[in-house]
Structure 1
Amino acid sequence: MIYKLDVELSPDLEPYRAKIEATIKPYIEIRLTDNNQPNWWQSKFGGLPYLPKGFTYPKSYDGEYLYLLAQINFVEVPHLEYFPNKGILQFYIAADEELYGLNFDNPTQQDKFRAVYFPDIDLKEDNLVTDFDFLPKLNDEWLMPFEGCCSLDFTINFRPITISDNKFSIFPVDEADANFQDIVDEYYDKFCMNKHKLGGYPNFVQYDPRYNYPQDEEPYILLLQIDSDSSKSINICWGDGGIGNFFIKKSALERLDFSNVWYNWDCG
């Protein structure tokens, strides 16, 4: 399906309108709310997880407890192709001020990060873990990229490819062209400013880690993006104002198989 842009473009960018429109695809825009005490089932950044009794709380290989970064209840989310229409998906990371659980050499190794999916939700609180006193208290706020908790709202939206996506090829990168930086700035301001999202195209502060991924293998697509943000009752900061991304292969997403998620974050 070809989507149409509903924005005015400068004379320099207008010649690329058709190429821009050809890349537009839907995604779920995530907005933070002022609710800092979401219940066990709600979508949230930070806080304590939905955890059925009998389910082993996520730990690293060496027994270190991980902490909830994000919880998405897909009952609350508008339907997006390939994504679940029910269940709760959670992302946990290690309290590590330098890496936040990221393994640069093996970014899909779920040791110090974890993706957990519950296809069916138990709405009886008596069946859930509600006492998390076993979790070590974090005495240093810099151990995690976030502090606090907030619930989330979701809306479906549409955007073209981001400039930092490794597949971007809408206009030539010619830094010798006097208009080049103006075109880049306009494109970024109009199409690359969305912060938190499910699906769509990712943003990066430095570069797309998928750049050297083998071309003959199924590509990884964006699963979840969490940007640095201090607009509500949570403070999120990846290093020096960076962005966190989780990727997945489309075939795995369709199978609801989150065992091979690619985790990455970068900062300036």
Structure 2
Amino acid sequence: MDLTTLENHLDASPLLKAHKQYFLNLAQPAVAVRLGPTMGEPLQSRFGGLPVVPAGFDWPEHPNGHYLFVGQINFAELPDGPGRPAELPPSGLLSLFYGFDEDDAIFWRDQDYLKAFYWPDISGMREIQAPHRWVTGSRALHFENGVDLPRHEELRKDWPVEFDEIQDWLHGLEESGDLPRDYLLGRPSWDSLGYDPTPEAEECPGNSHWRSLLTLQSHEEFHWCWQDGARLMAFIEDARLRTRDFSHLQVDCG
């Protein structure tokens, strides 16, 4: 959803139109992640399949289980133009892995539950197979630059109307895809939490040094079941994002 689409939605509701500027001010840059119909090529952005990595890369090891491949984002595939978030790298490959064990001993809030590797130079990369041989099907990804809105009461203290009056509207934007369930940046969104999952949100209200990097819904075809079929939210510190350091992410699910 771009700003023009958001304006059209606001103008269509007398209640929301009365607070139009408030909602426009809330809009933050985000990138919708859409599943394509094909498996994708090795260097393409993909969920599932086999990762491509530079020579000498070793599959990450988890002391209590295995790391499974989430997918990879080739930042050069994000659309150019004024809507492209400046915070994201112009190119390079981000590869993501999550911890898994059959006994549920690994918890999503554990340190390094989600491991990320970023390579600015993608020349000479190759696909590798996981040592545990676990692999899912692959789907190519497509991206749409746009804006995101806070979707939950807990993310604001200054809603201009009762949140119950706009909750159905926000849900409708999700159902239509205008607010996607898979996206980069924006604000976190969830199914079952009752708090803002952003690190430091309680200690530093409105002034956390962390921001949402990636939100993913559960997808059966990739065997993702984030907290009983809900969503995974990955956060990164502002300073690390500016320096393209993706080595320390924090996660919540719900």
For this structure pair, what is the TM-score category when the shorter chain's length is used for normalisation?
A: 0.7 to 0.9
- Give 1:57 shift: 1.4
Aligned mate of 1:128, from 89, 114, 126: 126
Give me the identity figure in percent: 25
Tell me the secondary structure at the aligned position of residue 81 of structure 1: coil
1:16–1:170 CA contact under 8 A, matched in 2:
no
TM-score (norm 2): 0.80
Are 1:228 and 2:218 matched, yes or no?
yes
1:27–1:157 CA contact under 8 A, matched in 2:
yes
Report the CA distance shift for 1:100/1:187 in structure 2 as closer, same or farther (over 3 A).
Answer: farther
Are 1:85 and 2:97 matched, yes or no?
no
Rounded Cα–Cα distance in structure 2 between residues aligned with 1:197 and 1:167: 20
Give the equivalent residue in structure 2 for 1:31: 34
Tell me the secondary structure at the aligned position of residue 13 of structure 1: helix
Give the equivalent residue in structure 2 for 1:201: 187
- Give 1:96 shift: 2.9
Query: What's the CA shift string for 1:109-132, capped at 9, x where partnerless?
Result: 21x43111111102x4xx5354x2
Give the equivalent residue in structure 2 for 1:189: 172
Rounded Cα–Cα distance in structure 2 between residues aligned with 1:121 and 1:251: 24
Number of residue pairs aligned between Structure 1 and Structure 2: 238
How large is the RMSD of aligned CA atoms in angstroms?
A: 2.8
- Give 1:150 shift: 0.8
Report the CA distance shift for 1:84/1:28 in structure 2 as closer, same or farther (over 3 A).
Answer: same
2:217–2:232 CA contact under 8 A, matched in 1:
yes
Letter of the structure 1 residue corresponding to residue 75 of structure 2: F
Rounded Cα–Cα distance in structure 1 between residues aligned with 2:120 and 2:126: 15
Q: What runs of 5+ residues in structure 1 fail to find an aligned partner?
A: 139-146, 174-179
Tell me the secondary structure at the aligned position of residue 83 of structure 1: coil
Rounded Cα–Cα distance in structure 2 between residues aligned with 1:92 and 1:6: 39
1:165–1:203 CA contact under 8 A, matched in 2:
no
- Give 1:182 shift: 4.1
2:28–2:147 CA contact under 8 A, matched in 1:
yes
Q: What runs of 5+ residues in structure 2 fail to find an aligned partner?
A: none
1:73–1:89 CA contact under 8 A, matched in 2:
yes
1:102–1:264 CA contact under 8 A, matched in 2:
no
Report the CA distance shift for 1:91/1:213 in structure 2 as closer, same or farther (over 3 A).
Answer: farther
Aligned mate of 1:50, from 49, 52, 55: 52
TM-score (norm 1): 0.77
Give the equivalent residue in structure 2 for 1:241: 229
More helix by share: 2
Rounded Cα–Cα distance in structure 1 between residues aligned with 2:239 and 2:119: 18
Report the CA distance shift for 1:212/1:74 in structure 2 as closer, same or farther (over 3 A).
Answer: same
1:28–1:155 CA contact under 8 A, matched in 2:
yes
- Give 1:88 shift: 0.7
